[in-house]
Amino acid sequence: ADLLSENPSTDREKALMKALHYLTLCEARYKGVVTGLQSSVILQQAYVERVHGQLAAKEKKSGREKGALKGGHARLMTEDEVFNEIRLQEEEKVQQQLEKQMRKKKVEEYRITVDEWKKGEEARKVWNVACREEWEKEVQAWKELPKPRGKRPLLGNLKKAEPKPSHPANVVADDDDEVSV
C-alpha cells in the first residue's frame, strides 16, 4: 500500500503503477462477482432444500415410490453408489423373473401330476365298482344256495385310494399369475 502512494519517477514505474492499479480494480470486480455467485448458490440451495422437502412429503403421502431408484432419493447420476444400486436392482429384477418362471414351471408340473392322479383315481373307481358288482352277484348266488351254504364270499381286493399329490410349498401365486389348481 505504501508503494501505491508514492509518485512514480520513471516511465517504467508509471506503466507498472498503471498495470497494478488496473489489476487491483479487476480483483475488486472479481471479488464482487464471486460474492454474487456465492449468494445466488446459497439462495438456490435453500430453494432446492425446500422443494425437496415438499416433494418428499408429497411422495410419502402418495404411498408409493417412483423413479429408477428405490427409496425415492434423488441423487447425482455420477455417483458410484447410484450405478451400483441400479445394477443391483436390475439383477434383483432378473432374479425375480427367473423365480417367477420356476414357479410357473412347478405349477405346470403339479397340474400334470394331478391330471395323472385323477386318471388313476378314475381307473381305480371303475375297478372297484366292477369288483363290487361281481361280489354282489356272488353274494346273491350264495344266498340262493340251500342252508348250510358255507362261507359268505369275500369282497376281494379293492384298490385303495392314492393320496392326492400335495401342492409345492414354495409355489405362491402372484397377482399377475393365474394359478388356480
What is the distance in angstroms between the CA of the first residue and the CA of the last residue of the chain?
A: 94
- In total, how many domains does the chain have? 1
pLDDT at 1: 55
Quick check: 177 and 103 in contact, CB under 8 A?
yes
Residue 42 lies in a domain: yes
Q: Considering the domain boundaries, does residue 180 fall inside one?
A: no
Q: How far apart are CA 172 and CA 181, in angstroms?
A: 12
Nearest Cα to 177, choosing from 83, 94, 73, 97? 97
Any domain includes 13 = yes
DSSP state for residue 152 in the 8-state scheme? P
Q: What residue spans of 63-176 are helical by DSSP H?
A: 80-144
Say which residue the cell 397340474 belongs to: 111
The answer to whether residue 148 sits within a structural domain is no
Instruction: Look at residue 72 in the predicted model and tell me its pLDDT.
Output: 57
Residue 160 lies in a domain: no
The DSSP result for 16-85, as a single string, is HHHHHHHHHHHHHHHHHHHHHHHHHHHHHHHHHHHHHHHHHHHHHHHTS--SSSGGG----TT-HHHHHH
Predicted confidence (pLDDT) per residue in 106-160, tens digit: 999 999 999 999 999 999 999 999 999 999 998 898 888 888 778 888 887 888 8
Q: Is residue 12 part of a domain?
A: yes
Q: Is position 28 within any domain?
A: yes
- Global model pTM greater than 0.75: no
Question: 15 lies in which domain range?
Answer: 1-64
**Residue predicted with more confidence, 102 or 145:** 102
64 has pLDDT over 70: no
**Torsion over CA of 55, 61, 65 and 70, rounded to 10 degrees?**
70
- Residues in CB range of 17: below 8 A, 6 or more apart: 4, 8
Residue 176 within a domain: no
Contacts of 66 (CB under 8 A, 6+ apart): 59, 72
Closest-CA residue to 172 (of 94, 110, 87):
110
